[in-house]
Amino acid sequence: MADTILIIGGTGMLGEPVARRLRAGGYHVRILTRSPDKARGRFGVDYEIVAGDVTVPDSLAGAMRGCQGVHVSLHGDSAPDLERIAVVNAVRAALGACVQHFTYLSGASVIAENCWFSDTRARFEAEEAVKASGLPYTIFKASWFMESLDRFIHGQRAFVFGPQTKSWHWIAADDYARMVAAAYVTPVAAGKSLFIYGPDYCTMRAALQQYIAIAHPGVRLMPMPFWAADLMARLGRRRELQAALPFFRYCDKVSVHEAGDPTEANILLGTPDTMLELWSRQKAAQSDSLNL
């Protein structure tokens, strides 16, 4: 019988690729969701869908029954403190279920010296809860994902907020998902915090410029200073933008934004090799096929 892995956040932008990679690798994949019918429509009959809520410990305990692995991927999809609570609850449930491997997606800048930012502090505390649990774990400290570039685009305009002069190692979600799957068959990956960096190293503006030139040629790039973004968020009552701006300020201000070396992760799990240009062309091809 195939091992069962529970995915918390499996319907999210970064959780779904992990779920699909694990299923392709022969695992029985169980997805925790608050919207079971929607998840069944998305994943089909090859996945087990269970109703649950990360804030309700009893639902987590039931969802983990019989699981050999648990993967938590709420990065960017929830309020940071909710993510911390989810991880703490998941760790406790995993201990009760005798889970053999616990994996968690965190961030490349999540270190003690950056805990002045509340989002980072919440994820740092989540990491500490995982490490202190006694569970065999692998924490993935990833840089910016290419998939996030779509969130910069609104209609026919693409926005970059603030100067954003720092360069990042952009990674494709499929490469990351492959590395998560590899961790489940690599015993020495247990007990590790691994930095996950992609092959392209460039600023947000450069990454977005390349992406829209290939996949969205009609979209205009609009760099916007923070004061103008604040004004647009307030006057337009754009709550999503109001919530996002503190994180963009953090990315612009943080002194150590990629805090580790990806060499160990690359040796253990395979080096990410999807270039931004290729990923952008794949996205363009997918869009063209949907429009046929």
In a domain, 290, yes or no: no
Between CA 85 and CA 108 the distance in angstroms is 20
Q: Give the residue numbers spanning the domain of 114.
A: 4-143+171-196+257-274
Total number of domains constituting the chain = 1
- Domain at 270, CATH number: 3.40.50.720
In angstroms, the first-to-last Cα distance of the chain is 41
In the prediction, which pLDDT does 237 show?
A: 76
In the prediction, which pLDDT does 290 show?
A: 66
In a domain, 15, yes or no: yes
Average pLDDT for the chain: 94
79-108 pLDDT, tens digit per residue, is 778 899 999 999 999 999 999 999 999 999
Sign of the CA dihedral running 104, 108, 111, 116: negative
Amino acid at 46: D
In a domain, 224, yes or no: no
Q: Average pLDDT, stretch 139-165?
A: 96
75 has a pLDDT exceeding 90 = no
Q: Average pLDDT, stretch 141-161?
A: 96
In the prediction, which pLDDT does 232 show?
A: 87
In a domain, 218, yes or no: no
User: What's the Rg (C-alpha) of the chain?
Assistant: 19
In a domain, 287, yes or no: no
- In percent, the amount of the chain with pLDDT more than 70 equals 96
In a domain, 242, yes or no: no
In a domain, 285, yes or no: no
In a domain, 40, yes or no: yes
CA angle 109, 145, 84 (to 5 degrees): 50
In the prediction, which pLDDT does 28 show?
A: 97
Q: Which residues of 212-234 are buried (b: 16+ CB within 10 A; e: fewer)?
A: bebbbeebebebbeeeebeebbe
Q: How confident is residue 236, by pLDDT bands cut at 50, 70 and 90? A: confident
